[in-house]
């Protein structure tokens, strides 16, 4: 606000008041009759000289004829008149309609009282405060005595003050409206506030533009617009993806430096002038918006009806209003994102709760079978019935172990601890292994299963064999589960493309099962989700397999997808990137394949130290190795294991070491054995035997001085393969 204008106006008002008081005091001494003039030896000449000496605009009119009888010099000079106005109608002199602004009737009704009013005179283009009253003229006639003062500067200052007050009040109101608006009604509230601000400054259009960087260059796009009295521009070609480099000096130089663009369009640089003129803009104010020290965008105000420059006060207030609008926009976006995040979190919590319910059911079902079949076997006397019970116990245990493995895999994935272990293997062997695993389930539902491998698919690849088999098995399990009895399941393997050191392989599992609706596609690969919760009740499952598969495929530099139609079957496909391998079927031993050799007395003459604090674990392994001929000593904790080995150094060929034990754990016991002076203590094979199966756990075992790792529950094929390796093929590596 220009406080100097206000100050000058106040001083002017004070001076006018003093002059009015002086005139009122002087008027009491004015002669009312010719006799008084004679008595005072005065004349109209004296009166006129007095009036001419006064610093106010004075003229006298005849109330009957409305003609001017007298005008002082200041009056004539100010309005550009001369003595020829004497005898003219006053309203004609001012080029007005007859008595448009003069309250003549009120003056005549109260001849003793002065009447004051404000008026605008077109002859000078300024505002005045005029006072008039009836007095006696020297010739004895009743006349209307007018005197006025120029209040144009005062009125402009007052109007400016009122305008700024109104604008500030509007900005405050918009702040209240925007702060109180909810996410759903925010856009309407924002446009309402833009309109309120525009009306305050008599603008035809208000718009908000946001900046962004594309291809290393600064661009801007109009995101909101309010318009009234001018054609809306939202969505037009010159409001979308506008590069700053094409916007001339005003946009390139002034706005990024925090300066406003304010002025007449015709006086702007050619690129800006042409762009704005095409939109019908005559005058414009553009205020830059900086949020968190970043040039976020700008807010513009267009006048399409007149040329003007917005005042400094308007510019300052509109800059604040622009910042308010942009901040409220960002606040609403953040609130919307927060609401979405809350909904997503709530949905995730619901999904996890449903998952926990499912997993509880999935784990309790096989546990119920295990416990029930074990009870039946204990009571049974028929060997065939006992064997049947034990087979069902084993099947249920395998199912339970699969669920536990899925949960652990998902835990590793979410913790970012899942790692791949690449080996060189024959792809055909992996497919045979998967087919063997699925054989029982497929036969149980009399489903036809076929495998098609293109001729150009490499025979051997380097990838994570276990994880690749896990993904294929997961997809085949789903196909088996959701395909009716007698249905068809097909596995296709293609080579989709070659690379410098490998290729991209495409695997597809196709079935003619129940299919999936398109609405459920996006949920299939979410953690803890299934396409439809009714599937859990009808077909079972924890809802982790596809999510785990998606993460594993991503780790193998591939993608996974589904194509399906409800009631017509599904095709699940995925790709992996693998290097070409050199594995030969005759020289690659798979630890997961069943050991077909005769194991009777295979380890005769060998001696092993078995360290485990749980008696049943020791009992199981001893029983399973009974036919191998190996001699087994037991220890219940790390301290006892160390003492046994120290008492008989060199007498053991292999140590199976549990990790978590009382008194001394497996890490500490291994370290103490490796530090013994006996040379064989540094080379004896020590295999960790633990339920800790994360890669970090395996690495910790190796770092402690152990040679290898087997996971609980024990897979005896893996145990036998490890034992054969370290008892027959191991040359011995010293741990220093």
Note the pTM of the prediction, 2 decimals: 0.49
Q: Say how far apart CA 242 and CA 59 lie, in whole Å.
A: 63
Residue 35 has pLDDT above 70, yes or no: no
Q: Residue 672: pLDDT band by 50, 70, 90 thresholds?
A: very high
- Biggest alpha carbon–alpha carbon distance for the chain: 160
How many angstroms separate the CA atoms of 599 and 161, rounded? Answer: 104
Q: What is the mean pLDDT of residues 27-35?
A: 44
Cβ atoms of residues 69 and 86 within 8 Å: yes
Rg (CA), the chain: 49
3-state class (DSSP) for residue 368 = helix
Q: What is the mean pLDDT of the chain?
A: 81
Residues in the chain: 736
Cα separation, 518 vs 534, whole angstroms: 17
Q: Name 283's bridge partners.
A: 264, 303
End-to-end CA distance of the chain: 84
Is residue 434 scored above 80 in pLDDT? yes
3 state SS of 423: strand
CB 208 within 8 A of CB 329: yes
Per-residue pLDDT for 9 more than 80? no
pLDDT tens-digit readout, 489-507: 999 999 988 877 788 999 9
pLDDT tens for each residue of 627-660: 999 999 999 999 999 999 999 888 999 999 999 9
Higher pLDDT, 471 or 119: 471
**Percent residues over pLDDT 70 in the chain:** 84
Residues 6+ apart with CB under 8 A from 535: 482, 541
544 pLDDT above the threshold of 80: no
State the pLDDT at residue 587: 45
* Per-residue pLDDT, 656: 96
Q: Regarding beta strands 57-61 and 142-150, do their DSSP bridges make them parallel or antiparallel, or are they unpaired?
A: antiparallel
- E strands along 94-164, which residues? 115-121, 126-136, 142-150
Strands 115-121 and 68-71, how do they pair? unpaired
Measure Cα distances from 516 to 121, 348, 478, 562, 564 in Å. Answer: 83, 22, 12, 9, 6
Containing H/E element for 155?
A: helix 152-180
384-422: per-residue pLDDT in tens?
888 888 888 877 777 777 777 777 777 777 777 778 888
Range in 104-108, 262-266, 334-338 the model is least confident about: 334-338
Joined together, the tokens standing for residue 201 give 């400054």
HEC string for 605-668: CCEEEEECCCHHHHHHHHHHCHHHCCEEEEECCHHHHHHHHHHCCCCCCEEEECCCCCCCCHHH
Confidence band for 153, pLDDT divided at 50, 70 and 90: confident
């Amino acid at each position: 606000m220009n406080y100097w204008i206000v100050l000058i106006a106040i001083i002017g008002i004070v001076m006018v008041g003093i002059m009015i008081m002086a005139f009122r005091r002087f008027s009491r001494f004015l002669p009312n009759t010719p006799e008084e003039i004679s008595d005072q030896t005065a004349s109209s000449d004296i009166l006129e000289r007095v009036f001419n000496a006064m610093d106010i605009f004075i003229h006298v009119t005849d109330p009957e004829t409305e003609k001017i009888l007298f005008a002082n010099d200041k009056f004539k000079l100010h309005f550009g008149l001369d003595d020829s106005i004497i005898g003219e109608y006053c309203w004609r002199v001012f080029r007005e309609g007859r008595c448009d602004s003069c309250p003549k009737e009120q003056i005549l009704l109260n001849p003793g009282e002065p009447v004051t009013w404000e008026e605008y005179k077109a002859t000078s283009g300024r505002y005045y405060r005029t006072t008039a009253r009836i007095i006696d003229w020297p010739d004895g006639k009743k006349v209307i005595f007018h005197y006025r003062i120029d209040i144009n500067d005062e009125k402009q200052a007052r109007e400016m003050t009122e305008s700024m007050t109104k604008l500030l009040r509007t900005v405050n109101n918009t702040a209240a409206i925007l702060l109180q608006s909810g996410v759903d009604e925010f856009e309407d509230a924002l446009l309402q506030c833009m309109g309120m601000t525009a009306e305050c400054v008599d603008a035809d259009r208000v718009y908000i533009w946001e900046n962004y960087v594309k291809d290393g260059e600064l661009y801007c796009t109009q995101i909101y617009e309010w318009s009234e009295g001018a054609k809306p521009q939202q969505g037009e070609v010159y409001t979308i993806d506008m590069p700053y480099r094409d916007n001339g000096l005003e946009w390139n130089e002034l706005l990024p430096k925090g300066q406003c663009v304010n002025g007449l369009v015709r006086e702007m640089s050619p690129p800006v002038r042409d762009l704005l003129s095409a939109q019908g803009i005559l005058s414009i104010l553009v205020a830059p918006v900086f949020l968190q020290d970043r040039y976020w965008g700008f807010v513009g105000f267009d006048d399409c009806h007149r040329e003007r420059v917005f005042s400094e006060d308007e510019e300052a207030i509109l800059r604040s209003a622009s910042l308010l609008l942009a901040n409220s926009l960002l606040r609403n976006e953040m609130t919307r994102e927060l609401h979405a995040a809350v909904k997503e979190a709530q949905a995730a919590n619901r999904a996890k709760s449903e998952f926990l319910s499912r997993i509880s059911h999935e784990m309790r079902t096989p546990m119920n079978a295990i416990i029930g079949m074990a009870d039946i076997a204990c009571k049974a006397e028929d060997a065939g019935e006992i064997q049947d019970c034990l087979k069902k116990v084993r099947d249920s245990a395998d199912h339970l172990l699969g669920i536990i493995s899925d949960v652990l895999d998902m835990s590793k994935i979410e913790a970012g601890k899942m790692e791949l272990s690449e080996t060189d293997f024959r792809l055909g062997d992996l497919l045979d292994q998967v087919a063997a695993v699925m054989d029982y389930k497929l036969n149980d539902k009399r489903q036809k299963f076929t495998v098609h491998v293109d001729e150009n698919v490499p025979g051997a690849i380097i990838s994570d064999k276990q994880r690749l088999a896990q993904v294929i098995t997961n997809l085949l399990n789903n196909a088996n589960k959701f395909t009716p009895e007698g249905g068809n399941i097909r596995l296709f393997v293609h080579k989709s493309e070659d690379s410098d050191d490998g290729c991209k392989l495409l695997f597809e599992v196709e079935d003619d099962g129940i299919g999936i609706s398109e609405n459920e596609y996006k949920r299939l690969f979410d953690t803890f989700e299934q396409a439809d919760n009714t599937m859990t009740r009808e077909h079972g499952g924890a809802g982790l397999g596809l999510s785990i598969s998606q993460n594993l495929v991503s780790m193998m530099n591939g993608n996974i997808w589904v194509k399906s139609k409800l009631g017509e079957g599904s095709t699940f496909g995925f790709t992996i990137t693998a290097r070409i391998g050199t594995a030969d079927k005759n020289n690659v031993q798979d630890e997961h394949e069943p050991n077909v050799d005769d194991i009777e007395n295979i380890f005769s003459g060998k001696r092993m130290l078995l360290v485990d604090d749980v008696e049943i674990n020791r009992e199981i392994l001893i029983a399973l190795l009974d036919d191998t001929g190996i001699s087994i000593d037991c220890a219940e904790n790390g301290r006892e294991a160390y003492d046994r080995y120290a008492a008989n150094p060199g007498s053991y060929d292999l140590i199976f070491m549990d990790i978590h034990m009382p008194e001394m754990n497996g890490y500490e016991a291994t370290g103490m054995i490796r530090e013994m002076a006996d040379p064989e203590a540094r080379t004896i094979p020590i295999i960790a035997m633990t339920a800790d199966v994360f890669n970090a756990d395996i690495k910790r075992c190796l770092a402690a001085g152990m040679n290898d790792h087997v996971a609980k529950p024990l897979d005896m094929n893996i145990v036998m393969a490890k034992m054969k390796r370290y008892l027959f093929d191991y040359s011995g590596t010293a741990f220093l």
